[in-house]
């Protein structure tokens, strides 16, 4: 759950990139980190676990003059290797939104499903309900699965975000999609728009400016 300090008028969001091994979680995070001007983000932190790693960084506080509210966004990846379940759980704790990075290779369909089941199990065990957006990464593969018929993970109406994270394509679109879903979920419980007079679109536009993005990358869910 987002940490809200109403006294300091500061809100911290935690976004976690989850997915099977080698699906491109780290590439997403690196692309995002590289995209943001050094003045707008913290250093990329690497926590080495055996045979895998957890990466994260903080976006520096984004200040909203109109509502005198500041936001900070923490972005994490989890290690994808099956043996790191405990680490995945600890990283997932306190998350406000999850980006599920699926692999577009047809040979990875089973790995995608296995990771999704792991995510669902971890969230159940942690007693968490968070919005999840699904990205299909590696769209450059010649045999990439057709998105129209791709697995939608328990939700036939789910929107799928295509990406090619190594080049940065689709990384921001996914990020904003996840932020929008996270905002909606938090707004429902914390009434953010009403309390601070800050509508979702203004929030997304401000984050977009902060990370040096193009507003066309914002595709509301």
Partner 1 sequence: MTSRPSGGPAHAADPLDQPIELAALVGADLPELLASFAAAHDCGLAVLDPRGAMIAAVGADADAALTAPIVVAGDPIGTVVVDADPSRGGLARHVAHVIELLVHHAQARQLTGVVHQAAVAHSVGELTAKNKSLEAAVARLREADRAKSNFLATMSHELRTPLTSVIGYSEMLLEGLAGPLTPDQRDYVSTILGKADQLLQLITSVLDMSRAEAATTAPDVAPVALAELCASVCASFAPQADKRGVALVQDIEPLRALGDRRQIRQVIWNLVSNAVKFAADGTEVVIAVHPGPLVPVGSGTRPDLRLGVHVEVRDRGIGIPREQLAHIFEPFFQVDSSSTRQYGGTGLGLALAKAYVEAHGGRLWVDSTPGQGSTFVASFPVDGDDLAQRRSAP
**Binding span for partner 1 by CB under 8 A among 23-31, 138-146, 151-159, 203-211:** 151-159
Stretch that binds partner 1, among 19-27, 52-60, 168-176, 207-215 (CB under 8 A): 52-60
| List of E strands, the chain | 3-5, 10-18, 45-49, 52-64, 69-77, 97-103, 132-137, 160-162
Helix 171-190 to helix 25-35 angle, to the nearest 10 degrees?
90
From CA 46, how far away is CA 208, in angstroms rounded? 25
Footprint (CB under 8 A) of partner 1, residues 84-103: 84-87, 89-91, 93-96
List alpha helices for 105-219, DSSP H: 109-125, 171-190, 192-196, 200-210
Interaction of residue 43 with partner 1, rule CB under 8 A = yes
- Cα-only R_g, the chain: 17
Size of the site for partner 1 (CB under 8 A): 53
Q: Which stretch binds partner 1 (CB under 8 A): 18-26, 27-35, 44-52, 142-150?
A: 44-52
Task: Verify binding: residue 123, partner 1, rule CB under 8 A.
Answer: yes
If one counts every other C-beta atom within 10 angstroms of the C-beta of residue 77, the result is 27
198 part of the interface to partner 1, by CB under 8 A: no
Binding to partner 1 by residue 154, rule CB under 8 A? yes
Nearest-approach distance from CB 167 to partner 1, in angstroms: 25
Do residues 78 and 54 touch, judged by C-beta distance below 8 A?
A: yes
Longest pairwise C-alpha distance within the chain = 53
Per CB under 8 A, the list member of 17, 18, 56, 176 interacting with partner 1 is: 56
CB of 61 to partner 1, least distance (A): 5
| 48 interacts with partner 1 by CB under 8 A | yes
Residue 77 corresponds to which tokens in the numbers above?
A: 């990846």
DSSP assignment, residue 152? Answer: -
Residues that bind partner 1 (CB under 8 A): 1, 3, 12, 14, 42-43, 45-49, 54, 56, 58, 60-61, 72, 74, 76, 84-87, 89-91, 93-96, 123, 126-133, 153-155, 157-159, 177, 181, 184-186, 188-189, 221
């Amino acid at each position: 759950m987002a940490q809200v300090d109403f006294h300091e008028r500061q809100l911290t969001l935690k976004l976690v990139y989850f997915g099977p091994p080698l699906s491109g979680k780290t590439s997403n995070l690196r692309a995002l980190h590289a995209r943001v001007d050094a003045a707008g983000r913290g250093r990329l932190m690497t926590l080495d676990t055996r045979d895998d790693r957890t990466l994260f960084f903080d976006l520096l506080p984004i200040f909203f003059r109109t509502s005198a509210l500041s936001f900070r966004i923490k972005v994490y990846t989890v290690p994808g290797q099956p043996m790191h379940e405990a680490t995945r759980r600890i990283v997932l704790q306190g998350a406000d939104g999850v980006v599920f990075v699926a692999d577009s290779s047809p040979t990875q369909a089973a790995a995608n499903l296995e990771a999704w089941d792991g995510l669902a199990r971890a969230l159940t065990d942690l007693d968490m309900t968070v919005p999840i957006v699904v990205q299909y990464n590696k769209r450059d593969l010649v045999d990439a699965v057709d998105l129209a018929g791709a697995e939608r993970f328990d939700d036939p109406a789910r929107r799928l975000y295509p990406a090619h994270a190594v080049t940065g394509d689709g990384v921001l679109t996914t990020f904003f999609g996840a932020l929008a879903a996270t905002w909606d979920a938090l707004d429902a419980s914390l009434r953010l728009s009403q309390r601070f007079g800050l509508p979702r679109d203004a929030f997304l536009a401000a984050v977009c400016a902060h990370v040096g993005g193009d507003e066309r990358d914002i595709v509301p869910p």
